[in-house]
Structure 1
Amino acid sequence: MQQTMVEGVRVAWARPAPDDRRETASTLIRALVAELAPGSDLRIEHRCPVCGGAHGRPVLPSAPVHASVAYADPWVVVAVAPDREVDALGIDAEVPDTTLDLTALFAPAHAPDLAGWTAIEAVLKADGRGLLVPPNQVLFAPDGVASVPGGGAFRILPVPAGPDLVVSLALRRRRSAPTPTRRP
């Protein structure tokens, strides 16, 4: 396992054994959650928001965290952040020599490069609707913020994972509650 931290978000990646991607993702998530929230129940559930099936984003119902996972053969990449700091989180990764033909998804505009594509997918994961939102509807501002119609804005951060992976993190920080003022 390799890991790093990007603005308080813990990110880890590893190569799984054959046919063991999901278990590797669960192991990585549990390791990061144990560091962030010691003593938490490390049970992970996967629930699809569309069909209710046992797939989709990882959720730890009894741990105060948000988690996201990406598969970039032969890698598994996960991100975990405390829910007191982060309201939404998404991660995506690709192997640099991956050839993606994204032309049809973005025509007539130009398709994004690999870093742009991982940023789009990370945003769609953080938004929670995934590819139910057309990828060409993710809009990027020059300040490193991306927005999704009906889903809000997400900060995009590159994750330094070395030459073997292109990784993007999308997050929305939790807004702190306003300080109450006393009235005379």
Structure 2
Amino acid sequence: MAADRDSRRETAWRLLRDLIGQSGIRLSNRCPRCGGDHGPVELEGAAVTASVSYAAEWAVVALAPAEAGSVGVDAEPEVDTRRDRAGLDGVLGAGSASARDWVRVEAALKADRRGLRIEPGAVHILGGTGTDQGAGASWRARVPGRADAVLGWDLTGPPGILVSAALARIESADA
């Protein structure tokens, strides 16, 4: 848990280094579009992929072996008065959406590595509906421009925080 943006980022970076457990790792998250420090996590010197998300005062990280694919994680408060007042209708295409829908889509887009350069409403989540929602549910996401589905899971997060993680196979340039 961390208090502000800078300390959440420091907490996330420390968690990643501790979980990887090897020296000489360089972390960065330069945005491919604007160059800011909010892009996908890049690890130099480690055979893993990583993703970071922030929700309220929490920093959430996910790791996967590089050969498994690219990992994405998203976390959002279950209750956010500003978000809930504005609603998520139309955010993920026609109709209504929930915070759980959003964390799934964003985790899939992070795993895809193109993030919000892909229209979130164009992502289709399959499975994980009805009684199959919440921590432990598995789902798949169809992301425009990908030949294969992104695999996803809803995870147990800190109290009041929804967390989903996704794994995307690395597609070759000829795919």
Q: Displacement of 1:160 after TM fit?
A: 1.3
2-structure distance, mates of 1:96, 1:54: 26
2-structure distance, mates of 1:124, 1:137: 11
1-structure distance, mates of 2:65, 2:92: 34
CA contact (8 A) 1:96 1:163 kept: no
Name the amino acid aligned to 1:42. Answer: I
Name the amino acid aligned to 2:46. Answer: A
Unaligned stretches of 5+ residues in structure 1: 1-14, 176-184
**Aligned Cα root-mean-square deviation (Å):** 2.1
Name the amino acid aligned to 2:51. Answer: S
Residue 28 of structure 2 corresponds to residue 41 of structure 1: no
CA contact (8 A) 1:69 1:78 kept: yes
Secondary structure at the counterpart of residue 145 of structure 1: strand
Q: Displacement of 1:42 after TM fit?
A: 2.2
Name the amino acid aligned to 1:63. Answer: A
CA contact (8 A) 1:157 1:169 kept: yes
Out of 66, 82, 100, the position equivalent to 2:65 is 82
CA contact (8 A) 1:65 1:83 kept: yes
Instruction: Describe the superposition over 1:34-57 as per-residue Cα deviations: whole angstroms up to 9, x where unpaired.
Output: 1xxxx3522212222223444412
| 1:180 counterpart residue number | none
Name the amino acid aligned to 2:155. Answer: V
Name the amino acid aligned to 2:152. Answer: I
2-structure distance, mates of 1:82, 1:46: 18
Secondary structure at the counterpart of residue 103 of structure 1: coil
Between 1:94-103 and 1:115-124, the stretch displaced more is 94-103
Q: Would you identify which runs of 4 or more consecutive aligned residues in structure 1 move more than 6 Å?
A: none
| 1:149 counterpart residue number | 144
Superposed, which structure 2 residues align to 1:154-165 within 5 Å?
A: 154-165=150-161
CA contact (8 A) 2:54 2:75 kept: yes
Unaligned stretches of 5+ residues in structure 2: 129-138
Name the amino acid aligned to 2:102. Answer: W
Residue 100 of structure 2 corresponds to residue 105 of structure 1: no
TM-score, scaled relative to structure 2: 0.79
TM-score, scaled relative to structure 1: 0.75
Greater helix share, 1 or 2?
A: 2
Out of 95, 101, 122, the position equivalent to 1:116 is 101
CA contact (8 A) 1:66 1:89 kept: yes
Q: Displacement of 1:62 after TM fit?
A: 0.9
Name the amino acid aligned to 2:79. Answer: D
